[in-house]
Structure 1
Amino acid sequence: LSVSLSVFLSVCVCVCVCLCLCVCVCVSGHSVTLLCHYDVKTHSLLSVCWNRGKLPLSGCKDLLIAVDQLRVREDTRVSSRYQLWGRLDEGDVSLTILNLTETDAGLYGCRVEIPGWLNDEKHNFHLTVDSAPQTTTTPPVNTETSTHQTTAAHTPGPHTHTHTHTHSDTHTHTHTHTHTQ
């Protein structure tokens, strides 16, 4: 039993148990690369297909994209969101799914077609796509402008000062202070 862990930009985590199953948890709006490699030195260049859902006994039933040796078969690509950006000449046929949505969740399979009866390499993935965290915006804080008006009556005896504050949100505050000498 071997376990490997891959982390992609903190928005996608894939855990693979042996070569047969990887579980990936991702966030919508981001991309994921489902890893699939084969040994070119042992097998030379091969045909590969990517399937949506459980892989059938042979071939790919719900084909997403396929490769004939060094050539991506464009007639098989069901969406431009499915890309094979690996080095095909080195056996890297990893599938990148761009701009994930919650409808992308489910099973995926990579079949490396090795000549002979039941020789194919199969790599299975269970993809979970969580919705992106909601961002909240707070309304801007009202900026206050104040107008100070001071009136003073100079009469012998007590002095009275009146301060009036007018704020931009239409509130007026009046303060009266009386000082005696």
Structure 2
Amino acid sequence: MRVALLLALLTVGEGDGTKVKGRTGEDVTLPCHYDVDTHGLLSVCWNRGQISKNGCWSLIVEAEKTKVTEETRVSNRYQLLGRLDRGNVSLTILSVTETDSGVYGCRVHIPGLFNDEKHHFDLTVDTALLLTTSTPVDTATSPGTATDAHTSGQMTSSAASAVLTSSSASSSMTSEDTEEVSAVAVALLCAFFGFIGLITVGGVIVIIARKWRQLKVPQPLVSSSLSTLQLQSRGADENIYQMDEGVYDSCP
């Protein structure tokens, strides 16, 4: 019995302020245990700051045997994630910040007068350092590294400049070619429409000239002479016919 009591005192005895360090954004666990086989399931409270003799006056979370008393939890960042049924009542603070730095106390309520055991923790939260992907170059141990890096940088810059120059030249050549093609197309269109216009004007001029000639040239005299001759011939024929009738009428 005395050996079991000694083990229990060593397990849940009051600590001297165990120092715990964390970084901002990380989860930090403050360990606290008691012997279930010796004491059975007990109640536990976590306090911000030093624990008083009568209880947790600055309570942040409390557990009654295997169940967390939710109304006592001041923030969801305070979690009891251990196996409460095995006496693991460690406190886990999620995503710690610099304001979480300070003293925390774990109090295990053991039945009997002045039997409660207390553990204290001094939490220090440091600012997390930003990780960089670049590797520093030690010029003292590798003198050729800096020169090689500088040369490589120059080559890369030269290659990039060459690519940019080539791209610019290609762009300018493309624009010039486009302008030339456009100018040729415009010239061809102008020549085509000019040719059509000349043909149209020439046709109109020919038609006007023909009409003008028809109006200026007089009717030929041959047609009038022919008409006169035809009339005279017709009159002569009629006279001959009349004379013949008269001759035949005078005969006995």
Q: TM-score, normalised by structure 1?
A: 0.67
Shift, 1:93, TM fit: 0.3
Residues 1:147 and 1:133: Cα distance change in structure 2 (over 3 Å): closer
- Contact kept? 1:145, 1:167, Cα under 8 Å: no
Q: What's the counterpart of residue 67 of structure 2?
A: 71
Q: What's the counterpart of residue 106 of structure 1?
A: 102
Identity, in percent, stands at: 53
Tell me the alpha carbon deviations over residues 51-104 of structure 1, each in whole angstroms, 9 at most, x when there is no partner.
Answer: 000111121011110011111000001111110011100000000000000000
Partner residue of 2:27 out of 28, 31, 35: 31
Aligned counterparts, 1:11-160, within 5 A: 19-135=15-131, 144-147=160-163
Question: How many pairs does the alignment contain?
Answer: 133
Structure with the bigger percentage of helix: 2
Extract unaligned runs of 5+ from structure 2. Answer: 1-13, 135-155, 169-252
Shift, 1:118, TM fit: 1.3
Shift, 1:144, TM fit: 1.3
Q: TM-score, normalised by structure 2?
A: 0.48
Structure with the bigger percentage of strand: 1
SS at match of 1:146: helix
Residues 1:137 and 1:167: Cα distance change in structure 2 (over 3 Å): farther
Residues 1:135 and 1:167: Cα distance change in structure 2 (over 3 Å): farther
Task: Tell me the distance in 1 between the aligned counterparts of 2:79 and 2:71.
Answer: 13
Task: Tell me the distance in 2 between the aligned counterparts of 1:101 and 1:147.
Answer: 49
Task: Tell me the distance in 2 between the aligned counterparts of 1:69 and 1:147.
Answer: 72
Extract unaligned runs of 5+ from structure 1. Answer: 1-17, 149-164, 169-181
Residues 1:54 and 1:167: Cα distance change in structure 2 (over 3 Å): farther
SS at match of 1:92: coil
CA RMSD of aligned residues (A): 2.5
